[in-house]
């Protein structure tokens, strides 16, 4: 028989996504008793890193849930989902089995539940689906036999390209599936090396569970072309750059110098006077920035729009410059094994401080009196808890107040080459526009894919409502879709998946229970600032007088008491 949970916890958390995991860890760290559950059989919820077979399963399951064909191809498009879908929790391994379990468990537990006066039992239905328009496509030979002839025809042309690679055997779907070294993110991020997440990981000492690789380069797509250039980030780079003229180099150098000063002296506005509220582009024009420099500063360094007020752009510049040169050429880090390691690192610390973890488990019901949840029901167990924290997808739809949903378009591309000639790149690339698109390239060098494989992520706020429509034009700029045009130097695409992910600000999204807190799904951001802010704000509400994630001691700082060397001790 499986061991049971304890009868009482200070905090119960459902979902092991990042925000919930930070809250759970912060509470456990200062001595609260935490029970942390997740209906999935993996950590991280949407913040997870998948193996290739897991990702393929996940994609196919969503295609099926949406009523699509078993083996999707280009044809299956679905209406944009601006409202919550009330489907079963999509990330279940076996949704139908789970539902059966729930009903029968509720049946058992209802007869056993201990109710005091005024208490009522409410079943906890499975939550809402945040994922839509999922379209996985394989471009590999064994998946599309009809393309084989085409490939053969171009084989001779390919030869010199192929020989340069270590990998001579072509990648097939099966070969990708049997590889185990994967960490493909559903919600990829980069960390500013002096950003909020790095600072939190260092100050809490959770960084000991993680290791990072610095992103080697920032790329920029030259306006009007498909050509990618390396953005010069350091003095040396600027000096060596072949795209910029001597005058441009000088302007850029002086500008970086100014940004560095800004970092050291935050009150300094010299040179920016009068432009604070003006669009940043006006400032750049007035200082003699050429169109190329404007493009680089806007999209690759400040990562803002031309119309962004100069004051705001300066904040972004400071962020960039202050993180530069800490660990590498660029200001950015990417975790080894994928971003899914980050929520797990928090969960690990939570467990080290006594948090109880159980995957493939969620609550079946709550016992509440008026607007206060007194206990939860898990299987046949009734567990008292003071507070309940749930990720949005684990909260019954009936408890939510209507909210405007933001749709993020996302894409994952698996390729046998880098978007710009490199053996093991980590890159960041931003395509400007009314809905700017971020592209992050990661590779086997970050231990997220088998040797020779690159994983490229793209995302933006959706403007058409469909990820494929939003992101396909960018994909065409970056990759070879057809076998015929090998000569253009673009890498060959092996597999891709487009999907939309809904997000919504979940602060006060439910008013049913005063001790229920709902965490928001991932938003469209590069680092983790929003998630950390939200987790901290929930923690501060729960425990206003406690410190948020104080530094965890190292192993050699812990003095262990209660040891003895004698016998006759029963371990159990």
Burial class (CB in 10 A: 0-12, 13-18, 19+), 241: middle
Tell me the closest approach of the beta carbon of residue 95 to another protein, in angstroms: 20
Tell me the closest approach of the beta carbon of residue 556 to another protein, in angstroms: 7
Q: Is there a contact between 533 and 19 (Cβ–Cβ < 8 Å)?
A: no
Query: Is residue 564 a contact point for another protein (CB under 8 A)?
Result: yes
What's 232-267 look like in SS3? CCCHHHHHHCCCCCHHHHHHHHHHHHHHHHHHHCCC
Count Cβ atoms below 10 Å from residue 14 Cβ, excluding itself. Answer: 28
Tell me the closest approach of the beta carbon of residue 343 to another protein, in angstroms: 9
Helix (H, G, I), strand (E, B) or coil at 453: coil
Q: Is there a contact between 86 and 92 (Cβ–Cβ < 8 Å)?
A: no
Q: Which CB sits closer to another protein, 28 or 500? A: 28
Tell me the closest approach of the beta carbon of residue 531 to another protein, in angstroms: 18
Name residue 431's beta-bridge partners: 437
Query: Is residue 424 a contact point for another protein (CB under 8 A)?
Result: no
Query: Is residue 563 a contact point for another protein (CB under 8 A)?
Result: yes
What's 345-375 look like in SS3? HHHHHHHHCCCEEEECCCCCEEEEECCEEEE
Structure-token match 């680092």, residue found = 527
Per-residue x/- marks for another protein, 433-452, CB under 8 A? --------------x-----
Distance of CA 327 to the CA centre of its chain: 22
Reading phi first (left if > 0) and then psi (alpha if -120 to 50, else beta), residue 288 is in: left
For 498, list phi and psi in degrees, rounded to 5.
Answer: -100, 145
Query: Is residue 552 a contact point for another protein (CB under 8 A)?
Result: yes
Select from 85-93, 151-159, 343-351, 457-465 the region that touches another protein (CB under 8 A).
343-351
Select from 86-94, 311-319, 417-425, 550-558 the region that touches another protein (CB under 8 A).
550-558
Q: What single DSSP character describes residue 225?
A: S
Query: Is residue 161 a contact point for another protein (CB under 8 A)?
Result: no
Q: Which CB sits closer to another protein, 448 or 467? A: 448
Q: Is there a contact between 498 and 134 (Cβ–Cβ < 8 Å)?
A: yes
Q: What is the token pair recorded at 411?
A: 């894409």
Query: Is residue 224 a contact point for another protein (CB under 8 A)?
Result: no
Q: Is there a contact between 285 and 294 (Cβ–Cβ < 8 Å)?
A: yes
Query: Is residue 272 a contact point for another protein (CB under 8 A)?
Result: no
Tell me the closest approach of the beta carbon of residue 102 to another protein, in angstroms: 18
Tell me the closest approach of the beta carbon of residue 446 to another protein, in angstroms: 10
Name residue 358's beta-bridge partners: 37
Residue spans of beta strands (DSSP E) within 17-87: 34-38, 49-50
Tell me the closest approach of the beta carbon of residue 559 to another protein, in angstroms: 10
- Using CB under 8 A, which residues numbered 361 to 420 contact another protein? 361
Select from 68-76, 92-100, 348-356, 513-521 the region that touches another protein (CB under 8 A).
348-356
Q: Is there a contact between 416 and 453 (Cβ–Cβ < 8 Å)?
A: yes
Query: Which residue among 20, 341, 486, 527 contacts another protein (CB under 8 A)?
Result: 341
Per-residue x/- marks for another protein, 291-330, CB under 8 A? ----------------------------------------
Tell me the closest approach of the beta carbon of residue 453 to another protein, in angstroms: 12
Among candidate residues 437, 439, 443, 438, the one with its CA nearest the CA of residue 414 = 443
- Using CB under 8 A, which residues numbered 162 to 221 contact another protein? 180-183, 208-209
Q: What is the token pair recorded at 489?
A: 């130097």
Q: Which CB sits closer to another protein, 197 or 284? A: 197
Query: Is residue 356 a contact point for another protein (CB under 8 A)?
Result: yes
Q: Which CB sits closer to another protein, 243 or 353? A: 353
Query: Which residue among 2, 160, 370, 545 contacts another protein (CB under 8 A)?
Result: 2
Tell me the closest approach of the beta carbon of residue 409 to another protein, in angstroms: 28
Query: Which residue among 107, 288, 484, 553 contacts another protein (CB under 8 A)?
Result: 553
Query: Is residue 560 a contact point for another protein (CB under 8 A)?
Result: yes
Query: Which residue among 327, 353, 435, 513 contacts another protein (CB under 8 A)?
Result: 353
Select from 69-77, 86-94, 356-364, 455-463 the region that touches another protein (CB under 8 A).
356-364
Distance of CA 84 to the CA centre of its chain: 21
Element (H, E) at 111: helix 95-112
Tell me the closest approach of the beta carbon of residue 59 to another protein, in angstroms: 20
Q: How many residues bind another protein (CB under 8 A)?
A: 44
Distance of CA 426 to the CA centre of its chain: 16
Name residue 391's beta-bridge partners: 519
Select from 110-118, 279-287, 349-357, 435-443 the region that touches another protein (CB under 8 A).
349-357
Query: Which residue among 327, 337, 481, 513 contacts another protein (CB under 8 A)?
Result: 337
Select from 91-99, 105-113, 248-256, 555-563 the region that touches another protein (CB under 8 A).
555-563
Query: Which residue among 168, 242, 404, 565 contacts another protein (CB under 8 A)?
Result: 565
> DSSP letters along 384-425, please?
EEEEEEEEGGGS-GGGPPP-PPEEEEEEEEEESS-SSS-SS-
Per-residue x/- marks for another protein, 22-51, CB under 8 A? --------------------xx-------x
Burial track 438-469 (b if 16+ CB lie within 10 A, e otherwise): bbbbbbbbbbbbbebbbbbbbbbbbeebbbbb
Residues forming contacts to another protein in the complex (CB under 8 A) are: 2-3, 42-43, 51, 180-183, 208-209, 336-337, 341, 344-345, 347-348, 351-354, 356-359, 361, 447, 552-553, 555-556, 558, 560-567, 569, 571-572
């Amino acid at each position: 028989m499986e061991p049971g949970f304890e009868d009482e916890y200070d905090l119960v958390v459902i979902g092991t996504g990042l925000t919930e995991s930070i809250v759970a860890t912060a509470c456990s760290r200062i001595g609260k008793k935490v029970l942390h559950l997740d209906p999935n059989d993996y950590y991280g919820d949407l913040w997870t890193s998948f193996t290739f077979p897991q990702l393929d399963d996940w994609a196919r399951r969503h295609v099926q849930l949406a009523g699509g064909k078993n083996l999707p191809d280009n044809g299956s498009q679905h209406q944009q989902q601006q409202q919550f879908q009330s489907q079963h929790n999509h990330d279940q391994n076996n949704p139908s089995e789970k539902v059966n379990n729930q009903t029968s468990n509720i049946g058992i537990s209802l007869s056993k539940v201990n109710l005091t006066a005024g208490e009522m039992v409410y079943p906890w239905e499975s939550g809402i689906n945040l994922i839509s328009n999922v379209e996985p496509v394989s471009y590999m030979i064994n998946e599309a036999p009809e393309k084989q002839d085409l490939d053969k025809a171009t084989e001779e042309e390919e030869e010199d390209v192929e020989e340069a690679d270590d990998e001579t055997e072509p990648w097939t779907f099966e070969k990708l599936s049997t590889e185990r070294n994967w960490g493909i993110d559903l919600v990829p991020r980069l960390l500013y090396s002096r950003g909020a997440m790095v600072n939190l990981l260092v100050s809490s000492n959770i960084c000991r569970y993680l290791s990072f690789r610095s992103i080697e380069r920032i790329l920029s797509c030259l306006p009007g072309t498909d050509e990618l250039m390396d953005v010069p980030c350091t003095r040396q780079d600027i000096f060596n750059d072949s795209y910029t003229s001597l005058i441009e180099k000088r302007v850029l150098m002086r500008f970086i110098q100014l940004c560095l000063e800004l970092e050291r002296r935050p009150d300094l506005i010299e040179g920016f006077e009068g432009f604070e509220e003006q669009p940043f582009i006006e400032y750049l024009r007035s200082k003699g920035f050429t169109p190329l420099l404007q493009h680089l500063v806007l999209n690759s360094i400040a990562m803002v729009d031309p119309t962004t007020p100069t004051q705001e752009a300066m904040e972004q510049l400071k962020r960039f410059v202050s993180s530069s040169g800490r660990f590498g050429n660029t200001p950015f880090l990417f975790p080894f094994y994928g971003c899914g390691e980050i929520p797990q690192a928090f969960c690990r610390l939570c467990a080290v401080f006594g948090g109880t973890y159980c995957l493939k488990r969620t609550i079946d019901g709550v016992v509440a009196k008026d607007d206060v949840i007194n206990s939860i029901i898990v299987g046949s167990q009734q567990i008292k808890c003071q507070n309940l924290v749930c990720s949005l997808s684990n909260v019954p739809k009936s408890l939510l107040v209507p909210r405007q949903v933001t749709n993020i378009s996302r894409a994952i591309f698996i390729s046998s080459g880098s978007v710009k000639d490199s053996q093991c790149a980590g890159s960041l690339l931003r395509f400007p526009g009314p809905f700017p698109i971020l592209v992050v390239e990661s590779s086997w060098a970050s231990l997220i894919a088998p040797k020779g494989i690159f994983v490229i992520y793209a995302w933006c706020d959706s403007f058409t409502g469909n990820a494929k429509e939003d992101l396909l034009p960018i994909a065409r700029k970056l990759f070879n879709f057809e076998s015929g045009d090998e000569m253009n130097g673009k890498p060959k695409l092996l597999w891709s998946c487009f999907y939309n992910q809904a997000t919504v600000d979940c602060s006060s999204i439910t008013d049913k229970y005063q001790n229920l807190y709902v965490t928001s799904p991932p938003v469209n951001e590069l680092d983790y600032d929003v998630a950390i802010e939200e987790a901290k704000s929930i923690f501060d509400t729960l425990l206003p007088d406690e410190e948020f994630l104080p530094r965890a001691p190292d192993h050699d700082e812990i003095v262990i008491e209660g040891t003895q060397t004698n016998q006759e001790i029963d371990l159990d």
